[in-house]
Structure 1
């Protein structure tokens, strides 16, 4: 009996050590899952520095679900969708074609580019890209519009790293989390890839906007993995400034 007790005492440290390893393993799995969930669905907080007076998040969003619900009011509005797909369809495509042709002339976009339009609604900009020869183009929005727009949240793009050569968006003002919006663009762009944003600087955006931008300086800080190529004034459906960034080479 005494011998048996002594053997049990000798095994106790080893047993404790193995238990600690197993507990640590499950704890790491738990942390990984929590981190993944937080990236997929931000719930609260404001990642944008509050000291930045040139970029302000609008109040009133008590949760991420509240924000999504508010955005869907516009995206799913049947009257607006009818306008976007009928009266506005050709007019917007023609304007986007002019923008994209200018970018091609500057060698910032080519027919071989794999392109993404972020927040594309019914996909006029995607159709414009295809009409200027950039056939490998797709749009992303909360509500899909096949074949040009697939469903997805621009705060967590459903694409692998370094997927695209070119990304365009005119919905930066709709981002509740501007740093995640930009972070996802930089994540999915290839090194050397181009991002073009149309933003409102000189005028206030619509009631569905989640932030207000008062200069392009916050964009320069947010695109910390890219270099600004240029900015210029445009007339883009209520948006007045075009800003172009190139993702830094590795």
Structure 2
């Protein structure tokens, strides 16, 4: 046999073995990554097999509990006439959106929410909303500015409902003083999302603008 014909065959065999070995190494490494890290995806991770946000069953149950709680709160407000399915609604300082989901669940479809932020201005035009709600106004960085913004964005005759944890009379009156355009309608103690906690529910109404007499 011609020796020159053996050289291509030998090179081919070496190449095939090298490729087979490389594929084997890759397969072993891939299997290791799947076994160790493939079930979770973290921010900034270079490897993520499942492009799905992992949510624990505990977190899901917590979300459902809060949505159910706020749906019950809003249904009660509808019964008292402070809210209606046609109300254009805003949830202020909603961190995870359960309030908006609850509104939509009970049929108040024209509902939006804004998260906790340092901005002094609400990104909406004046006299936009029939109903505004918040359970996260305590400790707000700019309370006076927020009071002015709620007065600006709430329609005349519209309602603001707030859930607070503070119970002393001074804190309560200081809070009311932030809203010079609103009139107190109701204040009551009620159950919070956690049955072991109590919250103060405050309902206020924006006074209708008086027409100037000539």
Q: 1:141-220 maps to which residues of 2 (within 5 A)?
A: 141-142=115-116, 153=118, 155-202=120-167, 214-220=170-176
Structure 2 residue runs of 5 or longer lacking an equivalent are 1-54, 210-214
C-alpha distance in 2, partners of 1:190/1:166? 8
1:229 matched to 2:203: no
1:93 matched to 2:67: yes
| 1:132, distance to aligned residue in structure 2 (A) | 1.1
C-alpha distance in 2, partners of 1:233/1:218? 18
- The count of residues paired between Structure 1 and Structure 2 equals 152
Greater radius of gyration (CA): 2
| 1:179, distance to aligned residue in structure 2 (A) | 1.1
C-alpha distance in 1, partners of 2:95/2:121? 17
Residue matched to 1:247: 206
| 1:131, distance to aligned residue in structure 2 (A) | 1.0
Note the aligned Cα RMSD (angstroms).
2.3
Asked whether the equivalents of residues 115 and 164 of structure 1 are also in contact (C-alpha less than 8 Å), the reply is yes
Q: 1:26-65 maps to which residues of 2 (within 5 A)?
A: none
- Spell out structure 1 runs of 4+ moving beyond 6 A: 81-84
Q: Which has the higher contact order (CA 8 A, sep 6+)?
A: 1
Asked whether the equivalents of residues 84 and 122 of structure 1 are also in contact (C-alpha less than 8 Å), the reply is no
CA distance 1:198–1:158, shift in 2 (3 Å)? same
- CA distances 1:72-118 after superposition (whole Å, capped 9, x unpaired): xxxxxxxxx97895231110011101110110000000000000000
Q: TM-score, normalised by structure 2?
A: 0.65
C-alpha distance in 2, partners of 1:86/1:181? 32
User: Secondary structure in 1 aligned to 2:95?
Assistant: coil
CA distance 1:82–1:119, shift in 2 (3 Å)? farther
1:111 matched to 2:67: no
